[in-house]
Amino acid sequence: MHYDFNMPITDAQARSLRVNDTVTLNGTLFGIRDATQIHMFDRGRKTRFDMNGHAVVHTAPNVRWVGETPDTPSGYESVCIGTTTSARMERFTRPLMEQYGVRIVIGKGGLFAASQSAFSDLGGVYLAIIGGAAALETTWVEQIEEVDLDDLNPESLWKFRVKGFGPLRVAMDSHGGNLYTEVNKAAQGKRAAALASLGVKAN
Amino acid sequence: MKIDLKQVEEAAKTLYIRACKLLPPDIKTGFARLDKGETDATAKSVLGTMIKNITVAEANDNLLCQDTGIPIYNVTIGRGVDVDGYALKQAIATGCARATKEHPLRSSVVHPVTRKNEHTSCGRLVPVINIDFIPDDATLSIEMIPKGSGSENNSWLKMAIPADGIEAVKTFVVDCVLDAGGKTCPPTIVGVGVGGTADLCVHLSKVAATRPLGTACEDPEGAKLEAELTKAVNMLGVGPQGLGGDSTSFAVHVETAATHITMNPVAVNMQCHSARRARATWTPKGLDYGY
């Protein structure tokens, strides 16, 4: 099933998504990263942005400072925007959802059990983007509308305006579905055969 | 052959930008090979997006990946090259900082304790500059590698013992690929260092991970391991982006070094699918850019 979302979305929309559905986002998307969340959740800083019902993407973009103009209201023009490995930011999923009402986390490589339970408890999903395909991803971003916590640049909190951001695959849903654990379990199951092909007996 | 250091600075800048934008032909061939052999529908679509991204980056003169990485410059100096080595290192660092400021590129480099970003892609001992010497008379070569963190964060060293045998090396490689899953942006080049000291072993794993596809380890024992391990890790079904499929790794590359009678070290360093490299070569004919 494919969904086109104009952000933000509701609890019901988030909970309707199932693993292997695809989603394309339009409107607002927030860019967030390690340092952004360390400062927000470990060091007590707050953002002025309303992220309720919105999506965040794990990113720190390449940008060019051009000054504030009608086309570049944040003062920044995008150079290259792509997505980083999510695993490092596992412990921030729940506070992002509880304190800011975030519904969608976009990243690569997947998240773990703490995020999975946050998605179930609070109604959220993880969308897998293709890591390393940043030139393509950049074409889905129309503008950097605003920026907050910019002393952390490039790990600022970015507010992007996106059009046709996707399609992205639902890889973790609010019903316990998780593509990564399925693949990892299957891969562990093939470990003994892979070792046997190397003349090694699995222990 | 006398080297103009202003030209080295300019080349260090050009190389960083070029490496971020143009994927070497051997990696493109590797993608075509994986795409042809892939049997999983999701994996096929993921590979298709990656291949499309290479085209979009070239068409839009944009970076392949937002991760500008840790800049690494590998310098090889021929016997007939006349250059002030200290000034050469300074010229490379200046060129690296200029690429960051002038393109601009995201500076992905921070102080390890304060996490302060100088916005130059430079800092203490960064860019990493490795220098080696070759017997050729008049050749200076500088290879630039923007080493992305998604793959670099998947690095391991095990000081196995002789009683564990080569089986420990093989098992370790398979387990590292399983541990990395999708975090390392597969399909990968799995770089394996075997032997040496702890630091040499890790260094060799990086050399292996960044070696062009289609090349083999000079040590026949290493080459044999490469063939076996490439087959084995692609039996696991991790697939592109860890979403399942046949294409887990383009190849496993191995580099070896002699080691101590009591030691059996193995290191693994991963290279993501954005396996970026660029090279500048000086000969008496002039300066050439390639991979």
Per-residue model confidence as pLDDT tens digits over B105-142: 999 999 999 999 999 999 999 999 999 999 988 999 99
| Residue A66 domain-assigned (yes or no) | yes
Contact B76, B133 (CB under 8 A): yes
Query: Residues of B numbered 56-75 whose beta carbons fall under 8 angstroms of chain A's beta carbons: which are they?
Result: 56-57, 60, 62-68
Q: List the single best residue of A184, A185, A188 to mutate versus B (max B Cβ within 10 A).
A: A184
CB pair distance less than 8 Å for A186 and B244: yes
Mutate to test the interface with B, among A77, A136, A137, A169 (most CBs of B within 10 A): A136
Cβ atoms of residues B239 and A182 within 8 Å: no
Closest chain B residue to the Cα of A107, Cα to Cα? B183
Q: Which residue has the tokens 């070029």?
A: B18
Show residues of chain A in contact with B274, CB under 8 Å: 132
Give per-residue pLDDT as tens, B14-55: 999 999 999 999 999 999 999 999 999 999 999 999 999 999
Q: What number is the average pLDDT over the span A117-134? A: 97
| Contact between chains at B66 and A62 (C-beta distance less than 8 A) | yes
Under 8 Å CB-to-CB from B220, ≥6 apart: which residues?
A: none
Q: With pLDDT > 90 as the criterion, what percentage of chain B qualifies? A: 99
- The burial class, CB within 10 Å (0-12 / 13-18 / 19+), for B109 is buried
How far apart are the C-alpha atoms of A132 and B168, rounded to whole Å?
32
Output the pLDDT for position A203.
Answer: 78
Cα–Cα dist B202/B269, whole Å: 7
Q: By CA distance, what is B115's nearest residue in A?
A: A35
Res A35: pLDDT: 97
User: Which chain B residues touch A188 with a CB distance below 8 Å?
Assistant: 178
pLDDT at residue B65 in the model = 97
The alpha carbon of residue A3 is apart from the nearest alpha carbon of chain B, in Å, by 18
Query: Distance between CA B222 and CA B199 in Å, rounded?
Result: 19
- Does any domain span residue A203? no
Report the pLDDT averaged over residues B268-281.
Answer: 98
- What does the mean pLDDT of chain B come to? 97
- Interface mutation vs chain B, best among A106, A130, A144, A191, most B CBs within 10 Å: A130
In a domain, A27, yes or no: yes
User: Min CA distance, B291 vs chain A (Å)?
Assistant: 19
Q: CA-CA distance, B142 to B75, in Å (whole number)?
A: 5
- Mean pLDDT, residues A124-135 taken together: 97
What tokens were used for B146? Answer: 């923007």
Give the range of the structural domain holding residue A55, as residue numbers without chain letter.
2-178
Collect all residues with Cβ–Cβ distance below 8 Å to B4 and sequence separation of at least 6. Answer: none
- Interchain proximity A133–B53, CB inside 8 Å: yes
Q: Which of residues 97-116 of A touch B (CB under 8 A)?
A: 108-110
Domains of chain B: 5-20+64-148+275-290 (3.30.1330), 150-271 (no CATH)
ipTM: 0.94
Structure tokens at B47: 């590979």
Tell me how many domains chain A contains: 1
Q: B64, A87: Cβ pair inside 8 Å?
A: no
Tell me what the mean pLDDT of segment B78-84 comes to.
Answer: 95
Q: pLDDT band for A202, please (50, 70, 90 cuts).
A: confident
Global confidence as pTM: 0.96
Mean pLDDT of A91-109: 98
Does B170 contact A at CB distance below 8 Å?
A: yes
Which of B15, B50, B17, B47 has the alpha carbon at shortest distance from B34?
Answer: B47
Contacts of A82 (CB under 8 A, 6+ apart): A59, A61, A131, A132, A133, A134, A137, A138, B63, B65, B66, B67
A153 close contact with B: CB closer than 8 A: yes
User: What is the per-residue pLDDT across B254-273, written as a single tens digit (0 to 9) for each?
Assistant: 999 999 999 999 999 999 99
A58 touches chain B (CB under 8 A): no
- CA atoms of A143 and A120, how far apart (whole Å): 32
CATH number of the domain at A114, please. Answer: 3.20.130.10
